[in-house]
Amino acid sequence: MAMMPLVPAALFWTMVLVLGLVSAFKDQKNITAESGQNVTLTCRAAKNNIIVLEWSRADLGRQYVFLHRDGLFVPDDQHPSFVNRVDLQDREMKDGDVSLILKNVTINDAGIYECRVIQRKTNRRKRAYLKTPPISSINLSVVDPPGE
Ligand X SMILES: *[C@@H]1O[C@H](CO)[C@@H](O)[C@H](O)[C@H]1NC(C)=O
Interacting span for ligand X (CB under 6 A) from 21-29, 47-55, 56-64, 116-124 = 21-29
- Contact indicator for 9, 118 with CB cutoff of 8 Å: no
Nearer to ligand X, 87 or 97 (CB): 87
In b/e form, how buried is each residue of 65-95, taking b as 16+ CB within 10 angstroms? Answer: bbbbbeeeebeeebbeebeebbebeeeebee
Cα separation, 52 vs 72, in Å, equals 9
Cα separation, 123 vs 126, in Å, equals 8
Nearer to ligand X, 28 or 122 (CB): 28
For residue 147, give the 3-state DSSP assignment.
coil
Tell whether residue 40 is a contact of ligand X (CB under 6 A).
Answer: no
Tell whether residue 37 is a contact of ligand X (CB under 6 A).
Answer: yes
Tell whether residue 38 is a contact of ligand X (CB under 6 A).
Answer: yes
Tell whether residue 141 is a contact of ligand X (CB under 6 A).
Answer: yes
Residues 49-108 that bind ligand X (CB under 6 A): 103-104, 106
Residues 103-122 that bind ligand X (CB under 6 A): 103-104, 106
> Which stretches of the chain bind ligand X, using CB under 6 A?
26, 28-30, 36-38, 103-104, 106, 139, 141
